[in-house]
Amino acid sequence: MGKFICSLLLLAGMGCVLMAQTNAMSHIIGGSFGWRIPDNTTFYQEWAKPRTFGVGDKLVFLYRTGVHNVLEVDEKEFKACTQDKPIDMLYRGPTILELNKKGDYYYYCGVGTHCEAGQKLSITVVDGPGSSGAVFNTETAPAPAPAPEVHSSSANSIHNLGLASGLVYFLVSMFI
């Protein structure tokens, strides 16, 4: 009887963990276009506009290591595309970031003049749940993003994605 109760409690605990992970959204930046130089400088802001980014959500930047990167910067550096005091610099694609607190966040590619060409994204993270918003039109995208190179780090590991997010990543990587 004691084993049954322990098993039941363990099963209930695992269910709670899985439920909490499925509430978070994984946003694949740029959709099928991925993280690369867009045809217009407003591409990523247009992509983000219908979405809600919530605490616990993940940003998935799909790009090839050595071709692009992801820099997190403050608003001033974002507007000027400068790299004087970056908050974080991530160089191995794909980069997966978990949004841990509400606020404004600014990201861009620091390779060459990619930022000036529009490879930049600013978002506002809210306390509530995230949403994918309306379907985003990627007709301007000539081809899908390159196949990502999987990497792991303590904060941005593919293993931290959770069951539902891991499945999304797997399905996306199959079609890229």
Q: How many CB atoms are located within 10 Å of the residue 5 CB?
A: 9
- Position 53 in a domain: yes
CATH of the domain at 58: 2.60.40.420
Convert the pLDDT of each residue in 56-83 to its tens digit: 999 999 999 999 999 999 999 999 999 9
User: DSSP states of 102-133 as a string?
Assistant: -EEEEEE--STTTTTTT-EEEEEEESS--B--
Instruction: Report the pLDDT value the prediction gives residue 112, as an integer from 0 to 100.
Output: 96
Map residue 49 onto helix, strand or coil: coil
pLDDT value for 168: 43
- Over range 107-134, report the average pLDDT: 91
Domains identified in the chain, total number:
1
Task: Provide mean pLDDT across the span 5-25.
Answer: 47
Count of Cβ atoms closer than 10 Å to residue 14 Cβ: 10
Residue 152 lies in a domain: yes
**Span of 30-34, 48-52, 76-80, 127-131 with lowest mean pLDDT:** 127-131
What the block records as the tokens of 170 is 């797997």
Which band of pLDDT confidence, cut at 50, 70 and 90, is reported for residue 156?
very low
Tell me whether residue 15 is in a domain: no
Residue 154 lies in a domain: yes
Q: Cα dist. 174→5, 63, 117 in Å?
A: 41, 15, 29
**pLDDT higher than threshold 70 for residue 19:** no
Assess if residue 10 is contained within a domain: no
Q: pLDDT tens digits, residue range 84-93?
A: 999 999 999 9
Write out the residue range of the structural domain in which residue 153 sits: 25-175
Res. 137 pLDDT band, cuts 50 70 90: very low
**Residue 4 falls inside a structural domain:** no
Q: Shortest CA distance to 99 belongs to which of 155, 43, 150, 148? A: 155
Nearest residue to 64 via CA among 100, 104, 95: 95
Mean of the per-residue pLDDT values for the chain? Answer: 75
Strands 53-54 and 120-126: parallel
Mean pLDDT of all residues in 120-132: 90
Inter-residue contact 25 to 130 (CB < 8 Å): yes
Residue 16 lies in a domain: no
Residue 109's contacts (CB-CB under 8 Å, 6 or more residues apart) are 35, 37, 63, 68, 69, 70, 71, 115, 119, 120
Mean pLDDT of the 11-16 span? 42
User: What distance in Å separates the CA atoms of residue 110 and residue 84, rounded to the nearest whole number?
Assistant: 11
Percent of the chain beyond pLDDT 90? 57
Q: Residue range 1-17: average pLDDT?
A: 42
